[in-house]
A and B are shown apart, each in its own frame.
Chain A
C-alpha cells in the first residue's frame, strides 16, 4: 500500500513522524480517513482519537483540539 509522510506534533514535540499508510482523524465535519495522494486539505479537529496505521502497526493519539493540513503528499496534524 502506498504510504505518505505523517507528522503529528504538539508543543511538546513530535508524537509521530514517519511513513504511514492511512490516518483516521475526528474532523469537525465528521470522522475521516486520509490515504496517500489526498487532495490539499485544511481541517479543524474535535475531541477524539487519531488512528495512524503504518507497516509496523496501528498507533492511537488522544486529541482535544487541533488542526490538520495536507499538501504535497504530507499530512501535518497540530494537536
Chain B
C-alpha cells in the first residue's frame, strides 16, 4: 500500500474514534437521566399501590375489566425496543425473547397482535407479517407524563376493546451498566401478583437509591364519588406506571448498551490506528532505505 493511502486510512480511523468516543459520552449522560427519571417515578407508584391496597379491603377489585381473568380474544405483545441501532445486542435480545415466547406457546400469527414502542420492534413485527395494533416510533427520552399517558390510553383501549385476552410486555431490565436482561412479563389482566411485581420491580431496580417504600395500615376510607370510579382511575394509573417504568428501564439499558458498544469501537479504533501507524513507519523506512541504496549505488557507479 502506498504511503499516502495508509496516511488517509489512519486519519479516517482517528476520526471514527472521535465520533464513537463522543457517542459513548452522550450515551452515558442519557443513561443517567433515564435512571434518574425512573427514581423520580417511584414514590408515585408506591402511593398508587398503597391506595389500591387500602381500597381492596372495602371493594371488589377483581370485577374490573382490567383485572378480570378468562377473557377471550388474541394475545397482545407490547414490544419496547430502541429506534436506533449501534447498541450491541440490545434489540436482538428483546426480539429473541418474543420469538421464544411465540414458539414456546405455539401461537399462530392470527392469535397475536403487536403493540410496538420503538422502530426495531415495529420492523420485526412488520417483516414477519404480524398484526400491528398500535405503534409509536421515536418516543422521546424526556417525554412528559401527559403525552405518555396518551400512549397508555391507546394500549388500554386496545385491551378494553374486547379483542385481546392477555397482554405481555417485552422489554429490557436494567441491572447495571454491564448487565441488562431482556424480559417478558404478563401485564394484563392485572392480578394481585402482577401489581405487586410492578411495585417490587421498581423497588428492586432502585433499591439502592430511594428510600424504602413503607406500606401503611389501611384505615376505613370515605370514598368519593364512589368506589368503582376510583378504581377506574387507579388501575389505569398502575398500568401507566408499569409501562412508563418498563420504557425507562429499556431506555437506560439501550444507552448503556450503546455506551459499551461505543467503548469497544473506540478501543478497536485505537488499536487499529496503532497497527496502521506501525505499518506506515515500515513502509516509509523501506522507501528511505531504497532511496539511500539507490544513491549509494549511483555514487559507486560514478567512481
Contact = CB atoms under 8 A, between A and B. Distances in A.
B148 A42 contact: no
Interface string B205-233: 00000000000101111111100011011
A38 B225 CA distance: 17
A40 B220 contact: yes
Nearest to A41: B222
Contacts of A33: none
Contacts of A29: 224-225
Interface string A27-45: 1110000000001111110
A71 B221 contact: yes
Interface string A49-66: 000000000000000111
Contacts of B216: 71-72
Contacts of B40: 11-14
A76 interface: yes
B54 A69 contact: yes
A41 B221 contact: yes
Given A11-B148, A78-B47, A40 B222 contact: yes
Contacts of B37: 12
B221 A11 contact: no
Contacts of A41: 221-224
A68 to B, nearest CB: 9
A11 B246 CA distance: 13
Q: How would you classify the secondary structure of chain A's contact residues: helix, strand, loop or mixed?
A: strand
A7 interface: yes
B107 interface: no
Contacts of A9: 43-44, 47
B176 interface: no
B interface: dominant SS: helix
Interface in B1-54: 37, 40-41, 43-44, 47-48, 50-51, 54
B244 interface: yes
Nearest to B45: A11
Interface in B225-253: 225, 229-230, 232-234, 237, 240-241, 244
A11 B233 contact: no
A65 B145 contact: no
Nearest to B233: A44
A45 to B, nearest CB: 8
A45 B251 CA distance: 31
B230 A44 contact: yes
B193 interface: no
Q: Which of B40, B224, B225 has the largest count of A CB atoms less than 10 A from its CB?
A: B224
Interface in A1-37: 7, 9-14, 27-29
A65 B233 contact: yes
B146 interface: yes
Nearest to A32: B224
A43 B219 contact: no
B99 interface: no
B50 A69 contact: yes
16 contacts: A9-B44, A9-B47, A11-B240, A11-B241, A13-B43, A28-B229, A41-B222, A41-B223, A42-B222, A42-B224, A64-B146, A67-B51, A69-B47, A71-B216, A72-B216, A76-B51
Given A43-B230, A44-B230, 10 more contacts: A11-B244, A12-B41, A27-B225, A28-B225, A41-B222, A41-B223, A42-B221, A42-B230, A43-B224, A78-B237
